[in-house]
Amino acid sequence: MNNGLSRILYNHLLELGLSETISSYLNLIILLVCALIFAWLLDLIIWRVLRNVTSRLARKSKTNYDNFLVANKVPRYIAHTIPLFLLFEFVPFAFIGFEYGGNIALKILRILIVVLTLFVVKSIFRSTNDYLKTKPRFRDKPMDSYIQVFMIFAWALGILTIFAIITDVYIWKFFTALGAGSAVILLLFKDSILGLVASIQVSINDMVRIGDWITFEKYGADGDVSEITLATVKVQNFDMTITTIPTYALISDSFKNWRGMQDSGGRRIKRALIISQKSIRFLTDDAMKSLQKIELIQPYLISKNEQITSYNTTNEINKELPINGRNLTNIGVFRKYVNDYLQNHSAVNKNMTLMVRQLAPTAQGIPLEIYAFSSDKRWENYEYVMADIFDHLLAALPYFELEVYELPASFQLNT
């Protein structure tokens, strides 16, 4: 045996009358216990020193990145490294005469160092992720997906390193074996690979960001994206439920992203009134005079009436039948009224498309569609604005002697 503390302790055990074998084992046990106690105490001391130092630096520094490092226990894991390396250097000294046991202890310490390194890397990645989420530029990016990708590679490399330590085989030979078993690996990690590809495409093409309102009918999702990871996308629906969607479904299926509407100046109103065809007619002189009392379209009706009268008089049109010559219809005047009403509505964005159009006749009647944009994009306010507009238009229809189509009730069919 070598000289030093181990030799002194061994000789002292022999002097107590113990055999050489028992003295060797007791010597090893005592040294190991002392080393472990010393490493534990050293770990506590280093951790307390690091905790005080890092906490002070975090409070004084201008950036909050170090705050996230402390919160994710990076200093705590680093504090473990020095005792581990000291134990690694102590093993050959303690296991003199126990070469096989010393090799096993060294392998265990190497594995612990690899695992500790992985935890340090994981904590640094988490800290980086938390820090980037505080930056407006990265707040809506799927950073969780990238962190998961890095950690997959890190854990894969760490596991291969551990196998190499246990088997005493060079790590490059494991990569050679992985090449032969690549088909099995692709099958096992199919979802992760699909998620990785999807995350990259989603980010590059800017298809979805955290905070976007999306509608995905296939999965019953209708709400805001709260999280994007390598495998899943979480959507918080408006009823406060959570829908989980596979990330690769964002590129393989069709969904609706409402970000364009939210970034624009308004939210679209696209709804039609179904006008009963039998209520449509030419306007008589009496009807024209009655409608001129509506202030919103009074200038329009006066101007139009003068033009029509001048045209019919000049061309000597026989007005015994309203179909002859030029005439106004109640639906045409109502269409003008709706357009002017929307132009004067304070909640309608006048800088975006605004029109009142007549669609193709249907079996129910003639759809008169309002196509405009609400200035307020918030859902509840948008619904209020749209309801307010159609409340008024439905109430205005009788003034133009127009009717909305309704399915007849049973008692109406029997009369």
Residue-wise pLDDT for 90-105, tens only, equals: 766 666 666 666 677 7
CATH architecture of 267-414: 2-Layer Sandwich (3.30)
Q: Which long-range contacts (CB under 8 A, 24 or more apart) does 249-256 make?
A: 249/198, 249/216, 249/218, 249/219, 250/198, 250/202, 250/207, 250/208, 251/197, 251/198, 251/201, 251/202, 251/207, 253/216, 253/218, 255/214, 255/215, 255/216, 255/217, 255/218, 255/221, 256/214, 256/215, 256/216
CATH number for the region 140-147+166-260 comes to 2.30.30.60
Would you state the pLDDT for residue 6?
A: 53
pLDDT of 226 > 90? The answer is no
Report the candidate in 83, 79, 101, 81 with the shortest Cα–Cα distance to residue 92.
Answer: 101
Which token pair is 42? 């050293």
- CB-based burial of residue 25 (10 Å sphere; 0-12 exposed, 13-18 middle, 19+ buried)? middle
Q: pTM for the full model?
A: 0.53
- Average pLDDT value for the chain: 80
Q: Please, which pLDDT band fits residue 24 given cuts at 50, 70 and 90? A: low
d(CA 313, CA 308): 8
Q: Give the pLDDT score at 56.
A: 75
Residue 373 has pLDDT above 50, yes or no: yes
CA 392, 398, 404 angle in degrees (round to 5)?
Answer: 80
- pLDDT band per the 50, 70, 90 thresholds, residue 275: very high
What is the pLDDT averaged over residues 364-375?
Answer: 93
Could you tell me where in the chain the CATH 2.30.30.60 domains are found?
140-147+166-260
Where along the chain do the CATH 3.30.70.100 domains lie?
267-414
Residue 394 burial by Cβ neighbours in a 10 Å radius (0-12, 13-18, 19+): exposed
Please give the structure tokens belonging to residue 383: 């619904």
Give the model's pLDDT for residue 409: 60
Q: What is the mean pLDDT of residues 219-248?
A: 86
State mean pLDDT over 368-395. Answer: 92
The whole-number pLDDT of residue 136 equals: 73
pLDDT at res. 400: 94
φ/ψ of residue 353, rounded to 5: -55, 130
pLDDT of the residue at 232: 82
Encoding tokens for residue 222?
């209708």
Query: Most confidently modeled of 41-45, 222-226, 338-342?
Result: 338-342
pLDDT > 70 in the chain, percent: 80
Per-residue model confidence (pLDDT) at position 227: 84
Q: What pLDDT digit, counting tens, does each position of 26-81 carry?
A: 656 666 777 778 778 887 888 788 777 777 776 777 777 777 777 788 878 888 88
pLDDT score recorded for residue 164: 78
